[in-house]
Structure 1
Amino acid sequence: MQMPVHIVAALGFVENDQEEILVVKERRSGKWVFPGGQVEVGENLMDGIIREVKEESGIDVEISHLTSIYSNTGTYEGHSGVKIVPTKVMFDFVCKPVGGGLATSDETSDSRWVSKEEVLDMVSDPALRIRYQAYLDYNGNINYMDYITRPQFELKLKRNV
Structure 2
Amino acid sequence: MARIEHFNNPNAPRPNSIVVAVTVFVQDEQSRVLLIQRTDNGLWALPGGAQDFGEYIAETAVRETREETGIEVEVTGVVGIYTNPNHVVEYSDGEVRQQFSICFRGRYLNGEPKTSDESSSVEWVSRQELIGLPIHPSMRLRIDHGFELCSTPYIG
- TM-score normalised by L of structure 2: 0.80
Q: Distance in 2 between matches of 1:12 and 1:76?
A: 19
Offset of residue 76 of structure 1: 6.4
Offset of residue 114 of structure 1: 1.4
Runs of 4+ in 1 over 6 A off after TM superposition: none
Given that 1:67 and 1:140 are in contact with CA atoms closer than 8 Å, whether structure 2 keeps it comes out as no
Q: Indicate which of 61, 76, 84 corresponds to 1:72.
A: 84
Partner of 2:139: 128
Offset of residue 123 of structure 1: 4.3
Mark the runs of 5 or more structure 1 residues left unpaired by the alignment.
Answer: 146-161
Offset of residue 126 of structure 1: 0.8
Pairwise mapping of residues 76-87 of structure 1 onto structure 2 (< 5 A)? 78-80=91-93, 82=94, 84-87=95-98
Cα distance, 1:120–1:48 mapped onto 2, change above 3 Å: farther
Given that 1:123 and 1:129 are in contact with CA atoms closer than 8 Å, whether structure 2 keeps it comes out as no
Partner of 1:103: 114
Structural RMSD (CA): 1.9
Mark the runs of 5 or more structure 2 residues left unpaired by the alignment.
Answer: 1-15
Cα distance, 1:88–1:122 mapped onto 2, change above 3 Å: same
- The percentage of aligned residue pairs carrying the same residue is 29
Structure possessing the higher relative contact order (Cα contacts under 8 Å, 6 or more residues apart): 2
Q: Which has the larger displacement, 54-63 or 71-80?
A: 71-80
- TM-score normalised by L of structure 1: 0.78
Q: Distance in 2 between matches of 1:125 and 1:76?
A: 12
